Structure 1
């Protein structure tokens, strides 16, 4: 298991990361409703933002899809693989949104633990 870095999950860091997602999430939602084909590119940005956070919050230099991360919620790596496979699908958008929420909560629990 790849351990979390305490400085990578401070409230300020997590809040900044999550606020970036909230802006992107709204854009993705609008793109899905408009069915204008922009959702996939926006989702790919959301995935990159998520993985960059995982790397920054963990004691590693780059994301390894086979590794287990303390910062990820249950089935996190499998869910990321599902999202990466078809980022243009609405179900993947919902799954990514849930991953963001659950990871934010997990970071709060990890801060209390340490």
Structure 2
């Protein structure tokens, strides 16, 4: 198990990370609404934001995330992230990434109580 660092999942850090996601999320949603073709590019930024948070919170710097051994990851996160990466321009992938952000935020809250 790759444990997370408690100092890397404080409420303030997680809230800042979620705020960054919120900005990207609005842009992705808007892009899908107007069908301007920019969603894929923004999704790639969002994927990078997600992965860098997981790695930093786990004191790891080796991309890509390839196993479910990260304590901070929700259930089936690697499989879901792989799906997202194969078709980042699709709306379904955007929704799946949104769920990963939400579930990871909740997992961080549980881990703060545990540590």
Query: Could you state the TM-score of these two structures normalised by the residue count of structure 1?
Result: 0.96
C-alpha displacement of 1:63: 2.9
* Residue number in structure 2 paired with 1:111: 112
| Map of 2:21 onto structure 1 | 21
**RMSD of aligned residue pairs (Cα, Å):** 0.9
Structure 2, unaligned runs of 5 or more: none
CA distance in 1, matches of 2:23, 2:14: 15
Match of 2:83 in 1: 82
Question: Where do 4+ consecutive residues of structure 1 move more than 4 Å?
Answer: none
Cα distance between partner residues in 2 of 1:71 and 1:94:
20
After superposition, where does 1:35-74 map in structure 2 within 5 Å? Answer: 35-67=35-67, 68-74=69-75
Which SS does the other structure have where 1:66 is aligned? coil
Q: What runs of 5+ residues in structure 1 fail to find an aligned partner?
A: none
C-alpha change, 1:64 and 1:45, in structure 2 (3 Å) is closer
CA distance in 2, matches of 1:26, 1:66: 28
